[in-house]
Amino acid sequence: MAGDPRFFARTGPHPLSAVVAAAGGAEGGVDGGVDGGAVEMMVMGPAPLQAAGPREVSFLDNRRYLPALRATRAGAVIVHPDMAGHVPQGCAAIVTKEPYLGWARVAALFFPVAPAQPGVHGSAVVDPAASVDPHAEVGPLAVIEAGAVIGARCRIGAGAVIGAGVEIGVDCRIGAGASISHAILGARVSIYPGARIGQEGFGFAFGPRGPETVPQLGLVLIADDVEVGANSCIDRGSAQDTVIGAGTRIDNLVQIGHNVKIGRCCVIVAQVGIAGSAVIEDFVMLGGQVGIAGHLTIGRKARIGAQAGVMGDVPAGVEWLGSPAMPARSMFRQVALLRRLAAHPSAKSAASTPISES
């Protein structure tokens, strides 16, 4: 069974009808019915197809695992309508057009986010001029400086540092060892351990004795429902603000430079680097290790493949790959051409011909 009790607090068991509802289904509907009639079966929790037992729920979102679905012993499985016919007899099919989303919601039903435990740990340092909601939790060795505002039901992890004047909205989670300065956070923001929010941006001017630091006078503005992964860094703006739009998900080890504007519901995967003053519009997806040069615009719903190097503006709704990044079809054509050239006998002989020094 998934969810080791040493690390994860479980709820339940829950009746199958509650599991169906959590998955976004409705009995007998195209988007979420129950086969087999066992609506009152009590479900103990979620588990993988291969390991699930008769009182557990699993899911299928990839046809490659059809053999595992056909052989599963799970009591219920969340599946797409096209896959419902493959669910074994005696297993309840929870049918939804988005099985993975349904699985996420069912897993959250059994393993909800732990609530804050109100109070300030005795070893924490809270400036008298700070405002900490009485329903917030402040962990050991945390530091909250003057003028900071901590909203209701927030959890401030061990050793976290909340700088002077920082405002944190309700239901936020600040991980152990994270530091936040020069920033305003909305509601339900999660900052994972070791992240650095609001530190000085990388700005300098060259003088006769070398680089001279330019004061960074902006803030970091993070809207509601944003997640920032472990050890990621978001620099504050120089004269403008760095902005992260609502619902955006930022993975671990991401660097976001000063004045960057990121829109709503973007997905930014690990080790991405975004240089200063770039604009990332709504619903953009950036694969792992993508690098984006400064002062560029990545259009709405664009998708940039892993390790791409973006050196120019990207139109909305396109998929770009490679370094330098280009439209996916162009890159694939170039790769195919290079392979044909490499395989052609004349290309091989030309490559082996010594270069004249005349």
Which of 262, 282, 302 corresponds to the end of one domain?
Answer: 282
Instruction: Say if residue 123 is in the same domain as residue 267.
Output: yes
What gap in Å lies between CA 48 and CA 52, rounded to an integer? 6
What gap in Å lies between CA 127 and CA 124, rounded to an integer? 10
Stretch 77-97: mean pLDDT, rounded?
Answer: 92
Does residue 343 come out as left (phi exceeding 0), alpha (psi in the -120 to 50 range) or beta?
Answer: alpha
pLDDT value of position 251: 98
Catalytic residue status for 14: no
Stretch 217-237: mean pLDDT, rounded?
Answer: 98
Instruction: Answer yes or no: is pLDDT of 71 > 90.
Output: yes
Instruction: State which amino acid sits at residue 118.
Output: P
pLDDT value of position 132: 98
Instruction: Answer yes or no: is pLDDT of 38 > 50.
Output: no
33 assigned to some structural domain = yes
pLDDT-based confidence at 350, cuts 50/70/90? low
pLDDT-based confidence at 342, cuts 50/70/90? confident
Instruction: Say if residue 95 is in the same domain as residue 232.
Output: no
208 assigned to some structural domain = yes
For 67, the token pair is 């053999």
Instruction: Answer yes or no: is pLDDT of 123 > 80.
Output: yes
pLDDT value of position 189: 98
pLDDT-based confidence at 349, cuts 50/70/90? low
331 assigned to some structural domain = no
Instruction: Answer yes or no: is pLDDT of 197 > 70.
Output: yes
211 assigned to some structural domain = yes
pLDDT in tens, 289-327: 999 999 999 999 999 999 999 999 999 999 999 999 999
Instruction: Say if residue 265 is in the same domain as residue 153.
Output: yes
Three-state SS for 122? coil
Instruction: Say if residue 129 is in the same domain as residue 278.
Output: yes
Stretch 134-146: mean pLDDT, rounded?
Answer: 98
Instruction: Answer yes or no: is pLDDT of 37 > 70.
Output: no
Q: What percent of the chain has pLDDT over 70?
A: 92
227 assigned to some structural domain = yes
Instruction: Answer yes or no: is pLDDT of 357 > 70.
Output: no
CATH number of the domain where residue 143 is located? 2.160.10.10
For 4, the token pair is 């080791």
Instruction: Say if residue 159 is in the same domain as residue 68.
Output: no
299 assigned to some structural domain = no
pLDDT value of position 23: 94
pLDDT-based confidence at 69, cuts 50/70/90? very high
pLDDT in tens, 240-293: 999 999 999 999 999 999 999 999 999 999 999 999 999 999 999 999 999 999
The more confident residue out of 26 and 131 is 131
Instruction: Say if residue 152 is in the same domain as residue 229.
Output: yes
Stretch 55-77: mean pLDDT, rounded?
Answer: 94
Instruction: Say if residue 217 is in the same domain as residue 76.
Output: no
Q: Which of 80, 86, 121, 258 is catalytic?
A: 258
The domain in which residue 25 lies consists of: 14-110
For the chain, the domain total comes to 2
37 Cβ contact partners less than 8 Å away, ≥ 6 residues apart: none
Instruction: Say if residue 156 is in the same domain as residue 204.
Output: yes
pLDDT-based confidence at 345, cuts 50/70/90? low
Quote the pTM value: 0.88
Three-state SS for 326? strand
Which of 282, 305, 336 corresponds to the end of one domain?
Answer: 282
298 assigned to some structural domain = no
Which of 87, 110, 133 corresponds to the end of one domain?
Answer: 110
315 assigned to some structural domain = no
Tally: H helices and E strands in the chain: 5, 39
Instruction: Say if residue 129 is in the same domain as residue 237.
Output: yes
SS3 content of the chain, % helix, strand, coil (to 5): 15, 25, 60
CATH number of the domain where residue 29 is located? 3.40.1390.10
Highest mean pLDDT among 36-40, 86-90, 167-171, 209-213: 167-171
Stretch 89-100: mean pLDDT, rounded?
Answer: 93
- DSSP assigned state of 84: G
